[in-house]
A = this chain, B = another copy of it.
């Protein structure tokens, strides 16, 4: 749960994708590919981006909706809100389950 979230954030390309979705939510896979290539000079294949989006979706950071042949990707920042609380607020520690 928390593991998926931190693992998703561990990759720089995925964080850049979150940046792009922050700037404009509801983008398609191809739109994200184009932006990564144009704005960030990332020479990355469509499948690689697709796999990154799957990781972000598994972490709950991205939600998708299908419309015809398009699939739109929306950002969900809710999981990000309290991920650092367990260390920033020493009064109410929320120890994680031992890593499995």
Number of interface residues of A (CB under 8 A): 34
Task: List 11 additional A-B contacts (Cβ < 8 Å) besides A16-B95, A22-B90, A81-B84.
Answer: A3-B12, A6-B15, A12-B98, A12-B100, A15-B99, A18-B87, A22-B86, A22-B87, A42-B98, A75-B87, A80-B88
The reply to whether the CB of A38 lies closer than 8 angstroms to some CB of chain B is no
Question: A95 touches which one: B19, B87, B95 (CB < 8 A)?
Answer: B19
Task: Quickly give the copy total for this chain.
Answer: 2
Q: Give the residue name and chain of the B residue nearest to A94 (CB).
A: B19
- A interface residue numbers (CB < 8 A to B): 2-3, 6-7, 9-13, 15-16, 18-19, 22-23, 40-42, 75, 77, 80-81, 83-84, 86-88, 90, 93, 95-96, 98-100
